[in-house]
Amino acid sequence: MYRNLINIFKIKELKKKIIITFLLLIIYRVGCYIPLPGVNVNALAEFFSK
């Protein structure tokens, strides 16, 4: 099993796609905590709590 994981990173194209996917996930997770200007967070929270 560990050989398969190591072999994945030996293929340049696959390695690039995996790295891009992880970077996009990290950007998405960090972006969830950045408030948007003009959005009332309290009203939005109240809307979704109903």
Distance (Å, whole) CA 11 – CA 2: 15
Is 41 a residue whose pLDDT tops 80?
yes
Backbone φ and ψ of 42, nearest 5°: -65, -45
DSSP letter, residue 37: T
Question: Which of the pair, 26 or 1, is modelled with greater confidence?
Answer: 26
Distance (Å, whole) CA 10 – CA 48: 45
Is 1 a residue whose pLDDT tops 80?
no
Q: Dump pLDDT digits (tens) for 3-35.
A: 887 888 888 999 999 999 999 999 999 988 888
The domain locations on the chain are 2-49
